[in-house]
Structure 1
Amino acid sequence: MLQFSDGSSEVELRLKLDGHDVQSAKDIFVDADGSSLIVQVRKPGSLVTLIETNNLFDRIKPAETIWYIDDDQLVINFKKQDPDLKWPDIVESWESLSTGSMQLLKGTSIYIVGDSTEINQKVARELAVALGYTPLDTKELLETFTKQNIDSWVLAEGSDSVADAESAVLESLSTHVRAVVATLGGSHGAAGRTDKWRHLYSGFTVWVSQTEAIDENSAKEEARKHMQDGSVGYSNADVVVKLQGWDADHAKSVAQACLSALKQSILSDKNLPGKKSLYIRLGCRGDWPNIKPPGWDPSSSSTATDVPPATLES
């Protein structure tokens, strides 16, 4: 049995030792390293693993880990690297991310972008349920308003017409909070075009991208190159999640990867939610990430270079 508690600057884990016949502390092995933990009990001729994870909810200070035996329990205290982050659980999981992401996002909406409309829709719905956000779908909104499907629209008026219309929808959604928006994929989607991102910057954007990489390191390197390349609109996204193949039954796993990536992004810059809010309040003028002061005219190239960026309110 495992008990977990968060005590602000530290977290505590208690594990029942019933049935393990622990004679002394020498029978216990605790190895904590950054974001991993393994706890083992010595048995005659073997070691029994009580817990093993490479996925603690956040990083700890290994040198400050303390453990002791309290009656029939093993008690382990970890010092957090980030004392301000509330841990819902000891490990990063779907449940802990769903709960923990709320304190990080601060109501900021999420946009799911990528080449596949279906993947965007499925992942967005899972995220909306997990976070208690409103699920929105630009494909459904456009088709409801125009009373025609996207494929027919593309054939009749071309991809540019659809992209322009979706861009208008994204403008109307840019002031929404606590929403997860699934965007159109493919060449007719606004998110794939570098000149259509003005209002997408109002929320956290996740690029869900399929890959043929054979391992995690290769996928990370591919993602890094794509983000640096900047030739497609998706490279403007806050984070990228790579998929090797797609199965709609695994949409929740992809959504979990999205939350994990967003968590790391926000923890690396805790001002991001506030900066997104400021960007919205100033009118989503396209000056992300170097937000200009009130009165800045996006049509004036000289103004853009003559004034310093706006700062966040303390």
Structure 2
Amino acid sequence: MRSVTMKPQTGCLPFNNPMLSTVPARMVIPFSYACASARPVFRTASAASETPTEHVPSTSAVADIDKELVAEKAREGMHRFAASTRKVGATRLVVDSLKRVSLTFLGDDHALNFMVAKVVGSRLGWFAVDLPKVICGMRKATSLEQLTQEERAITEAEVLRGLRNQFRVIATPLPGGAITHDAVWADLWGSVIVWIDEEDKQRPKGRTPERALYEDRAELVVQTKVQKGFAVKGGNSLENRAKAVAELLLPRLSDYLAEFPELADRKRQYVELGCRGDWPHLQPPSWSPVVQGLAADRKPLVGFEGGDNAVVKGNAMEVISDGRPETPAT
């Protein structure tokens, strides 16, 4: 490398540096204020000779699509989760008024009753009991057709007896089953009895013993009409029918509980006392249905048919005689 000696100009110090060399003219780029802010791009000869590649989409767009899918799935999952705990409007009033008291849905169509129980249960947070499934599980059968009517009634009565101490459940007894026996109603009175009656003008229902029982013992009646034709929104499927009944049932149940605000407390008290069958006139805790039955079946002694009257006070039976003090009966 040859050294270059630069002659100092007038008023400048001499500058000698053997490491410096002259810059070739081809590498000198004229300065421009317009492109002062732009950064120069240097490319090699090999890179310039290559053909341009296809445009690769940005990964940020793909990430945005994935985020939208994940967010949509999350919203769908939260919607399903909130379906069982959503309590607004009439639903909120029903939950607060029931105070965990169970419900019992009666009616001619058990499939409709159970579907309504599932819809109402999802809104209230109550559990709908599938009685045919439980009965088949207890009897180790695949369907109810494998059981006789007596076996179904006995097993159903056992299930209903087990549910009497359970809160926040919805039972749908089978039509013409265990509910035809009066002893089963001692267990059902611990819940609010609702009769779901779907009316079809083309197929009117006659007055049967089961319908007479529903009419006599139901505490709340919900009557709906079957919608037919192409104008029915969503079709006349079982699920749509159940949703229509639920939309009508919840406001009426809210109004009924508001009309009788003490009903839920009395139902809970009836269950806590053991479902003794004294509904709606609750007896003191010392009252026993067994003693009451013995007093009703007791016959007066011979010779005292007209003078003695047998009465029951608590669990002790006493004989009141005319003009004589009260003495405990032996």
Look up the match of 1:288: 279
Question: Match for 1:150 among 144, 153, 158?
Answer: 144
Report the structure, 1 or 2, having the larger strand content.
1
Percent sequence identity is 25
Look up the match of 2:100: 107
Listed as ranges, the matches of 1:160-171 within 5 Å are 160-171=150-161
Whole-angstrom CA distance in 2 between matches of 1:243 and 1:200: 24
TM-score (norm 1): 0.56
Listed as ranges, the matches of 1:10-159 within 5 Å are 95-148=88-141, 149-153=143-147, 157=148, 159=149
Whole-angstrom CA distance in 2 between matches of 1:262 and 1:302: 39
Whole-angstrom CA distance in 1 between matches of 2:312 and 2:201: 44
Q: CA deviation at 1:196?
A: 2.4
Across the two proteins, how many residue pairs are aligned to each other? 200
Letter in 1 for 2:219: D
Instruction: Report the 3-state secondary structure (helix = DSSP H, G, I; strand = E; otherwise coil) of the residue aligned with 1:115.
Output: coil
Contact 1:209 1:242 in 2 (8 A): yes
Look up the match of 1:244: 225
Contact 2:114 2:130 in 1 (8 A): yes
Per-residue CA deviations over 1:208-259 (Å, capped at 9, x if unaligned) read 1222469xxxx9xx9xx99xx9842563122111232374112122122222
TM-score (norm 2): 0.54
Contact 1:293 1:307 in 2 (8 A): no
Listed as ranges, the matches of 1:166-185 within 5 Å are 166-184=156-174
Decide whether aligned partners of structure 1 residues 247 and 125 sit closer, same or farther in structure 2, where only a CA change above 3 A counts: same
Decide whether aligned partners of structure 1 residues 213 and 260 sit closer, same or farther in structure 2, where only a CA change above 3 A counts: farther
Contact 2:195 2:214 in 1 (8 A): no
Decide whether aligned partners of structure 1 residues 306 and 270 sit closer, same or farther in structure 2, where only a CA change above 3 A counts: farther
Whole-angstrom CA distance in 2 between matches of 1:210 and 1:104: 26
Listed as ranges, the matches of 1:218-237 within 5 Å are 231-232=212-213, 235-237=216-218
Instruction: Report the 3-state secondary structure (helix = DSSP H, G, I; strand = E; otherwise coil) of the residue aligned with 2:280.
Output: coil
Please give the root-mean-square deviation of Cα atoms over the aligned residues, in Å.
3.1
Question: Match for 1:269 among 235, 260, 273?
Answer: 260
Which has the higher Rg, Structure 1 or Structure 2?
2
Gaps of 5+ in 2: 1-86, 227-235, 297-310, 315-330
Decide whether aligned partners of structure 1 residues 276 and 307 sit closer, same or farther in structure 2, where only a CA change above 3 A counts: farther
Per-residue CA deviations over 1:28-84 (Å, capped at 9, x if unaligned) read xxxxxxxxxxxxxxxxxxxxxxxxxxxxxxxxxxxxxxxxxxxxxxxxxxxxxxxxx
Instruction: Report the 3-state secondary structure (helix = DSSP H, G, I; strand = E; otherwise coil) of the residue aligned with 2:216.
Output: helix
